[in-house]
Amino acid sequence: MFIQTVAPSTRPAALRPQSFGQTPAPLFASTPEILGTSFSYGRDEEIYGEGEDNEFVYKVVSGAVRTYKVMRDGRRQIGGFHLPGDYFGFELGTRHLLTAEATTDTKVLLFKRSQIESLATRDVSAARELWLMTAGQLRHAEDHMLLLGRKTATERLAAFLIEMDKRLGGTGVVELPMSRRDIADYLGLTLETVSRGFSQFQASGIVQLIDARHVVLVKRRKLEEDAE
């Protein structure tokens, strides 16, 4: 039934790590001793897989990352998108619980988990900061459960556009760094429903679709009402 999602097939040769370099960057303002290594991924490239060792913590520099779970038959639920400035990949235990992939060409900084862990055991405020990051993700997940469990397609789409706008700077002009299918798998819908919803917003003058990836929020107030 809901089978859609997930390209099988082997990864095209084009999709390989694209660059590698040393860019010093502090994980926390207060602890400049931890540095990140810069790394790039092409569109749809896997950063880590569910069940793999979680050796690194990541910070998005540019692009965007999806983290998701898949069922055996291919149904996929994206738990969240990680946008520039966001950290992701630090999960409880030694194994990743989600798969992470770049939704578009993406640059990240990597931090060794072992370093971060040992920092957390030495530095109380760093430990607290890590805890707060996890708590922030939990907060997002709680909001998203309400959306997935109880909101209509239109409400989900409105909430999505508001969320993206807010996280991308709140300018009202949103450049979506992901496909319709990604949006659908994030919102618990099909890509057709996402497409139709955007078209309806456009027809009602609520948004303007410059092209599939660029949306102007014309009546943001209306969207916020729809989103609840």
Partner DNA sequence: CGGCCACTTGATCCGACTCAACCTGCGTGG
Partner DNA sequence: CCACGCAGGTTGAGTCGGATCAAGTGGCCG
Total site size for DNA, rule CB under 7 A? 25
| Closest distance of CB 7 from its own copies, Å | 17
Strands 46-48 and 99-102: antiparallel
Q: Which stretch binds DNA (CB under 7 A): 78-86, 92-100, 126-134, 177-185?
A: 177-185
Which strands form 46-48's sheet, in the order they lie side by side? 46-48, 99-102, 65-70, 76-82
| DSSP designation for 213 | T
Whether the CB-CB separation of 160 and 198 falls below 8 Å is answered with no
Matching residue, tokens 């996280």: 167
Q: Contacts with its own copies in 52-71 (CB under 8 A)? A: 69, 71
Does 193 sit near DNA (CB under 7 A)? Answer: yes
Binders of DNA among residues 95 to 154 (CB under 7 A) are 152-154
Q: Is 162 an interacting residue with respect to its own copies (CB under 8 A)?
A: no
Cβ-contact 64, 177 below 8 angstroms: yes
Asked if residue 132 binds its own copies (CB under 8 A), the reply is yes
Q: How far is the CB of 154 from DNA (least distance, A)?
A: 6
> Which structure tokens are listed for 3?
């089978």
The answer to whether 141 contacts its own copies (rule: CB under 8 A) is yes
